[in-house]
Amino acid sequence: MKKLTPDEIRLRFDKEVERFSNLETGQSAAIDSPLQMDLITSSAQHTNPNAKKVLDIGCGAGNYTIKLLEKIPNLECTLLDLSMPMLNKARERIQPLTLGKINTIQADIREENIGIETFDIVMASAILHHLREAVEWENVFKKIHDSLVVGGSFWIYDLISHEDSKIQKMSMDVWGDYLTKQGGESYKNEVFAYKEKEDTPRSMAFQLDLLKTVGFSKVEILHKNSVFGSFGAIK
């Protein structure tokens, strides 16, 4: 199946701002979303307690940055997303929580220059699975590595695939059962349909190897449940 373009994906997310604005549920279609939000931001806090600047890639309505500001106050926050309504909502929610500057960038991470040794922390939540070919993955991971100061950290929460087809099916079944409990069979079918049209996830093993390949010195696995995982790396 031909996947949707970034502009086509943006149009869907432009209409879903409120669904991504709840700290209690996080991304409700994802298993363990609140737990993984806490794991990502706690790991960033413990790795870089004196951080000054964070980049939130695919920031949505700002949940991850809000949670991070609870742990590390007054960060300068750079928010990057395809969707301007998401960026506007994120700024509105984050502005009262930090004395630091807030920068919003409407862009595709594949195309945006994010600088060299600029950030202490980079987070990417449920966005990297929109990358397509292996060269895109490598280019984006290298760009993120280069944007971090030495000792900086990069934390990922995302939809993942599995390298064994039987494990992939088992994991998709677990996700399907979760979605059915959340909203019934029709909701499961809706989520699976847009996954098929939009997403090209890679395995956690692929991504951990790639993090080392582009230059990160350490990689860490935080959590995995079916087709969702959180993990990261330190420069």
What pLDDT does residue 12 have? 84
pLDDT band at 24 (very low <50, low <70, confident <90, very high): confident
pLDDT band at 227 (very low <50, low <70, confident <90, very high): very high
What pLDDT does residue 157 have? 97
Question: Cα separations (Å) of 194 from 64, 165, 197, 235?
Answer: 23, 20, 5, 34
What average pLDDT does the structure give for the chain? 95
Cα torsion for 29, 78, 51, 65, to the nearest 10°? -30
Question: Does 144 score more than 80 pLDDT?
Answer: yes
Q: Count the helices and strands in the chain (H runs, E runs).
A: 7, 7
pLDDT band at 21 (very low <50, low <70, confident <90, very high): confident
Q: Which domains does the chain have, with CATH numbers?
A: 6-234 (3.40.50.150)
Q: With b meaning 16 or more CB within 10 Å and e meaning fewer, what string describes 79-92?
A: bbbbbebbbebbbe
Backbone angles phi, psi at 153, to 5 degrees: -130, 150
Task: Give percent of the chain above pLDDT 70.
Answer: 99
Gap between the Cα atoms of 64 and 156, Å rounded = 11
Q: Is 83:14 a contact under the CB 8 Å cutoff?
A: yes
Amino acid identity of residue 230, one-letter, is S
What pLDDT does residue 13 have? 83
